[in-house]
Amino acid sequence: MPDTHALARRFRVGYLSHVPHQSFLDTAAQHPEMEVVRIPLEQPEEAVIQALAGCDAYYVMASRDELPKPFHVGKALLARLPRLLMVASTGAGYDTVDPAACTEAGVLLVNQAGGNAEGVAEHAVGMMLALLKRMPEAHAAMLAGNAGDRGALMGRELRGRTVGLVGIGNIGTRVAEIVRLAFSCRVLACDPYLDAATIAARGAEKVEMPQLLAESDIVSLHLPLTPESRHLMNAEAFARMKPGAIFVTTARGSIHDEAALHAALTSGHLAGAGLDVWEQEPPPPDHPLLHLPNVIASQHTAGVTHESRANITRIAALAFADAANGRLPPRIINPQVVPRFAERWAAAFGRQMAV
């Protein structure tokens, strides 16, 4: 049963425009200690911010190009939301949130890591298979009327190849499992935050980036966008990849340098690329990478499945429900803020949190 003190002042959660799936609202409705408020975007900016200022928590869109800049969670917005205690992104990523600014303001930040792992992992492996079998090139050749010589489109098989994963969290671990068990692949992983034993338990060999690039037939990205990872895959990195290798990313735009990737593909050094994420989303129709026959492209849809959306929104609603009931939710991005967050929560609700 919900705590009666919590019911005295409900924990108000605000979201802008829409939620990714009805599962969020259905799950939240099972927790009367929580009040969910929709804030329309079809009103003046000031009205939106005033509505957010009356909320304890903000369920924020994770895609940076879908959310108007004034409503990204940074110092400027947080300064206008003194009541705000918690922010949760609508996905595993949190590109629209500045974690350091949240910590400075005493605001807890959580994401939904792992909730869309299956959808994204299947998408990444699907891109690997399509590129190795040269499906985009075959499609382009048929459209152009140049598909008479099937031998010119000879592909390769995934079985027995070396797959290099840059990052091996929830999604990378599932990719490793699929390619290892279904295709007998050797899996390498570069992840500075995990030791060799942990990476081995997740089905891969721990290596450093130069070795991964040099030995992998396929390089697949599964890491967040941070100042350290921005343009990690630059011209030098692509040059270090094996000739004829394939590059796949379902991570975040800006981790790879799009101009450098285009050069590596048009020079023939790389055989193909599968791109679900972009510097600008969606990319403009005249983007050079969209017009290469050896590129397969999607619009940040790897995790956009019915199952993944239902799962991540349910997880988010449960995280807000934890906070509403004075419990710390899982998947905290800025754990250093917990003591101050707990103090602010206690001041708002008149009792101590269970931390």
pLDDT digits (tens, 9 = 90+) for 61-112: 988 888 999 999 999 999 999 999 999 999 888 989 999 999 999 999 999 9
Nearest-10 Cα torsion for 315, 125, 289, 154: -170
Mark whether 125 and 269 lie in a shared domain.
yes
Q: 59 with 193, same domain?
A: no
Q: Report the number of distinct structural domains present in the chain.
A: 2
Among residues 252, 309, 314, 344, which one is catalytic? 252
Q: Is 213 within the bounds of a domain?
A: yes
Which amino acid would we find at residue 149? D
Select from 257, 300, 304 the least CA-distant residue to 275.
300
Q: Strands 162-166 and 295-297, how do they pair?
A: unpaired
7-16, 193-202, 287-296: the lowest-pLDDT one: 7-16
Return the bridge partners of 190, or none.
166
The catalytically annotated residue of 9, 177, 281, 331 is 281
pLDDT digits (tens, 9 = 90+) for 241-284: 999 999 999 999 999 999 999 999 999 999 999 999 999 999 99
Q: Do 12 and 122 fall within a single domain? A: no
Structure tokens at 137: 């090139």
**How many other CB atoms are found less than 10 A from the CB of residue 248?**
27
Indicate if the pLDDT at residue 8 is higher than 70: no
41-60 per-position pLDDT tens digit? 999 999 999 999 999 999 99
What range does the domain containing 244 cover?
117-297
The answer to whether residues 83 and 163 belong to one domain is no
Please indicate, yes or no, whether residues 232 and 291 belong to a single structural domain of this protein. yes
284 assigned to some structural domain: yes
pLDDT for 4 beyond 60: no
Q: Please name the amino acid found at residue 231.
A: H
131 with 255, same domain: the answer is yes
- Please report, for the domain that includes residue 224, its CATH number: 3.40.50.720
Chain mean pLDDT for the chain:
95
62 is written with which tokens?
């994770």
Helices of type H across the chain: 4-8, 22-28, 45-53, 75-79, 99-105, 117-132, 135-144, 170-183, 196-201, 209-215, 235-240, 258-266, 306-324, 338-349
- Six-digit token pair at 266? 């048009």
User: Is residue 252 flagged as an active site residue?
Assistant: yes
Tokens of 28: 């939240």
Q: Is residue 300 within 8 Å of 327, Cβ to Cβ? A: no
Residue 210, domain member (yes or no): yes
Q: Give yes or no: residues 286 and 230 share one domain.
A: yes
| Residue 62 burial class via C-beta count within 10 angstroms: exposed 0-12, middle 13-18, buried 19 and up | buried
List 300, 309, 314, 344, catalytic entry: 300
Residue with tokens 């929104």: 313
Contact 210, 186 (CB under 8 A): no
Task: Choose among 325, 324, 320, 344: nearest CA to 59.
Answer: 320
Instruction: Give the N- to C-terminal CA distance of the chain in Å, as an integer.
Output: 19
3-class secondary-structure state, position 16: strand
169 lies in a domain?
Answer: yes
Of 304, 299, 247, the residue nearest 278 (C-alpha)? 299
Residue 354, domain member (yes or no) = no
Report the pLDDT value the prediction gives residue 3, as an integer from 0 to 100: 44
Q: Are residues 310 and 277 in the same domain?
A: no
Q: What is the pLDDT of residue 7?
A: 43
Residues of the chain with pLDDT > 90, as a percent, come to 92
Token couple for 353: 């949190």
Q: Would 355 be classed as within a structural domain?
A: no
For residues 173 and 285, state if they share a domain.
yes
Share of the chain above pLDDT 70, in %: 98
Query: Does pTM surpass 0.85?
Result: yes
With respect to residue 39, please indicate whether it lies within any of the assigned structural domains. yes
Question: Domain check: are 89 and 142 in the same one?
Answer: no
The answer as to whether 238 is a domain residue is yes
Instruction: Compute the distance between CA of residue 205 and CA of residue 188 in angstroms, rounded to an integer.
Output: 5
104 and 147 both lie in a single domain: no
Task: Return phi, psi of residue 61, to 5°.
Answer: -60, 140
Tokens of 68: 């108007």
Within this chain, do residues 141 and 222 fall inside the same structural domain, yes or no? Answer: yes
